Homo-oligomer: A and B are copies of this chain.
Amino acid sequence: MTTIRDVAQLAGVSTATVSHVLNDTRVVSDDLRGRVVAAMVKLNYRPNAVARSLRVSETLTIGLIVPDVELPFFARYARDIEMAASEVGYNVILCNSNWALANELRYLDHLLARRVDGLICISVSMTPEHIAPILRRNAPVVWLEEGRIGHNADAIILDNQRGAYDAASHLIERGHRRIGCITGPTVAQLTGDRISGFQHALCDAGLTHDERLTRVGAYDAESGYRLAGELLDLDEPPTALFAFNDIMAIGALRAAHERGLRVGRHLGIIGFDGIGLTAHASPPLSTIEQPTRAMSEAAIAVLLERVNGQHRGESRTLRFQARLVARESTLGA
């Protein structure tokens, strides 16, 4: 593999000059610059980023830990984060934790060894203590989606309470009085916030929530399907369902279809997240759309501000607003 030394030799200059030509870090006479460039193309030289990283202790790499990139919502984040990162010259190491803390810790160790410049985490099980070793090594961390109490790192989160409030209000506005709710596991903070927002909306509308209409889902299609079925089979079934993510809402759609219910007229369904498929569900699914693109860009921006030392000290939390996207699944009776 050809090195900077080979180039220097062929061009008849020192390695320092080659390096300066490479990085535009000092004026080099046109003569030498020309010879260096010529030598580089002739030898088909590609700088070794590993060596550079060792020298400048900066890898231009960030780690991304997600629970399961196969799920559309996380897949979207993976794409958005990767694009935002690559736009500013960073590469992304993808880490799929499979929802397991043990895997997350293993990845933390790897990423630490790899000397990533920073780390973005979507996780429900990691705590501030777990990332403390990372921070101690001066690699900033950004929590995405799920903030942390007493967090020692920046966080990019959604206003889940408001989002859920809007979802419920939308259903109420469409004339629904009995609203079923398929939540997620309550270990996640964001689940609690959504529950709170949901109940708040009912309360503000003068409705009282029937506890029998709440089910705890697992953020997957199967539980959405099963729990929606349970709710629809009640003696007094709800006229609308609010699923805490789109995947469960899609499962709910299926439960409704199987019962011959016309979604949108007989039954309102709204999801959460705003994944691409909602637009082409049958019928198109109303949802609370998260601005993942903006949130990803914010995550990268916040991270790099730390990396570049532009921001030190107390950790910040940026809260984004979701947007109601009303589609046929909540047309109203």
| Stretch of A26-34, A143-151, A247-255 that contacts chain B | A247-255
Q: How many monomers of this protein are in the complex?
A: 2
Choose among B133, B221, B224 the residue that contacts A276 (Cβ–Cβ < 8 A): B221
The secondary structure that dominates the A interface is helix
Q: What chain B residues lie within 8 Å of A107 (beta carbons)?
A: 86
Are B54 and A82 neighbours in the complex by a CB distance under 8 Å? no
Q: When A94-B94, A282-B253 are in contact, do A54 and B46 touch as well, CB less than 8 Å? A: no
| Stretch of A69-77, A162-170, A231-239, A301-309 that contacts chain B | A69-77
Complex formed: what's the CA distance from A46 to B221 in Å? Answer: 41
Instruction: Determine which residue in A64, A91, A92, A95 has the highest number of CB atoms from chain B within 10 A of its CB, and name it.
Output: A91
User: Could you list which residues of chain A lie within 8 angstroms of chain B, going by C-beta atoms?
Assistant: 1, 44, 46-51, 53-54, 57, 59, 61, 64, 68-72, 75-76, 78-79, 82-83, 86, 91-96, 98, 107, 109-110, 112-115, 133, 136-138, 221-222, 224-225, 247, 250-251, 253-254, 256-258, 276-277, 279-284
Are B50 and A54 neighbours in the complex by a CB distance under 8 Å? yes
Are A96 and B83 neighbours in the complex by a CB distance under 8 Å? yes
Q: How far, in Å, is A322 (CB) from chain B's closest CB?
A: 18
Are A280 and B221 neighbours in the complex by a CB distance under 8 Å? yes
Q: When A1-B137, A96-B83, A115-B49 are in contact, do A70 and B72 touch as well, CB less than 8 Å? A: yes
Complex formed: what's the CA distance from A83 to B96 in Å? Answer: 7
Are B75 and A94 neighbours in the complex by a CB distance under 8 Å? no
Q: How far, in Å, is A283 (CB) from chain B's closest CB?
A: 7
Complex formed: what's the CA distance from A98 to B87 in Å? Answer: 13
Q: What chain B residues lie within 8 Å of A224 (beta carbons)?
A: 280
